[in-house]
């Protein structure tokens, strides 16, 4: 019976809802989805464990700006009282990236339950009114990450599927703001995507692009 097989879950919107259980993917402490990033765990109060993309399709990447420095953003996402977190944070000075929520899990980042379930959130250190925060290193590192996410989940590399927090339906946020250079960023994402495709073709396409967390 369908109802008996479904899992009753309570999320941060304080609404009861039903979903079919996922496939219970194995988890290892400190494991990341993107090669080269560091792991710092967000508070479990700021996310919902899931089995994406088996229980929820991932078809969006949401771009955020922290409105804080890097260290503060990490601290906030580790605070169980904050009630939100993104999957990744990218540092301005050097493009260093930390993962705080596994991609298979639902992070509370978009302010919209449906978009939380269907997207991966990437925070960028800085302030929306300080264009100097959006460095070349940050753009390049984030673009590489977004390209790999799109590759993992077959997300089209376009502005319908790679969006700002301000473009989430019902959002009251303005990030990434008018100083975020979308033309530049999307160009870098496409370059990263095309470079990966060319490398895979030259090597016979036998390599794995999914990182350690997609087994």
Tell me the CATH number at 50. 3.40.80.10
20: which residues sit within 8 A by CB, 6+ positions away?
Answer: 5, 6, 7, 55
Instruction: Please state the rounded mean pLDDT for residues 20-48.
Output: 87
- pLDDT of 171 reads 85
- pLDDT of 206 reads 34
Whether the predicted pLDDT of 201 surpasses 60: no
Q: Are 7 and 49 in contact (CB under 8 A)?
A: no
Question: Among 158, 157, 105, 97, which Cα is nearest to 122's?
Answer: 97
Q: What is the mean pLDDT of the chain?
A: 86
18 falls within a domain? no
According to DSSP, residue 84 is labeled -
43 falls within a domain? yes
**194 vs 6 pLDDT, higher one:** 194
H-helix or E-strand spanning residue 10: strand 7-10
15 falls within a domain? no
State phi, psi for 108 to the nearest 5 degrees: -85, 85
HSE-up (13 A, CA, CB side) for residue 112 = 18
H-helix or E-strand spanning residue 190: helix 182-202
Question: How many domains does the chain fold into?
Answer: 1
State phi, psi for 42 to the nearest 5 degrees: -75, 160
Q: Is 194 helix (H, G, I), strand (E, B) or coil?
A: helix
207 falls within a domain? no
User: With bands split at pLDDT 50, 70 and 90, how would you rate the model's confidence at 146?
Assistant: very high
Instruction: Please state the rounded mean pLDDT for residues 42-65.
Output: 97
210 falls within a domain? no
H-helix or E-strand spanning residue 150: helix 136-153
* Least reliable range by pLDDT among 4-8, 47-51, 65-69, 128-132: 4-8
- pLDDT single digits (tens) 71-126: 999 999 999 999 999 999 999 999 999 999 999 999 999 999 999 999 999 999 99
pTM of the model: 0.83
Where in the sequence is the domain holding 106, given as residue range(s)? 31-197
55 falls within a domain? yes
Instruction: Please state the rounded mean pLDDT for residues 40-54.
Output: 97
65 falls within a domain? yes
Task: Round to whole Å and give the CA distance between 174 and 155.
Answer: 24
What are the distances in angstroms from CA 154 to CA 3, 49, 59, 96, 193?
31, 22, 8, 25, 11
User: With bands split at pLDDT 50, 70 and 90, how would you rate the model's confidence at 213?
Assistant: very low
> Which residues are known catalytic residues?
123
Whether the predicted pLDDT of 208 surpasses 80: no
151 falls within a domain? yes
């Amino acid at each position: 019976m369908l109802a008996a097989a479904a899992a009753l879950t309570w999320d941060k919107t304080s609404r009861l809802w039903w979903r079919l259980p996922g496939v219970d993917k194995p988890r290892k402490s400190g494991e990341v989805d993107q090669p080269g990033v560091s792991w710092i765990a967000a508070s479990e109060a700021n996310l919902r464990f899931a089995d994406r993309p088996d229980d929820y399709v991932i078809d969006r990447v949401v771009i955020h700006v922290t409105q804080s420095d890097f260290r503060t953003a990490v601290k906030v996402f580790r605070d169980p009282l904050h009630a939100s977190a993104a999957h990744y944070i990218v540092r301005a000075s050097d493009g260093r990236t930390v993962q705080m929520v596994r991609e298979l899990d639902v992070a509370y980042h978009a302010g919209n339950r449906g978009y939380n379930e269907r997207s991966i959130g990437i925070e960028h250190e800085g302030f929306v009114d300080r264009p100097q925060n959006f460095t070349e290193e940050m753009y390049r590192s984030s673009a590489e990450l977004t390209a790999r996410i799109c590759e993992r989940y077959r997300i089209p590399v376009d502005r319908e599927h790679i969006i700002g927090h301000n473009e989430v339906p019902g959002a009251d946020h303005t990030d990434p703001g008018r100083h975020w250079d979308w033309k530049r960023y999307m160009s870098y994402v496409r370059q990263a995507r095309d470079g990966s495709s060319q490398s895979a073709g030259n090597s016979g396409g036998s390599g794995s692009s999914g990182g350690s967390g997609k087994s």
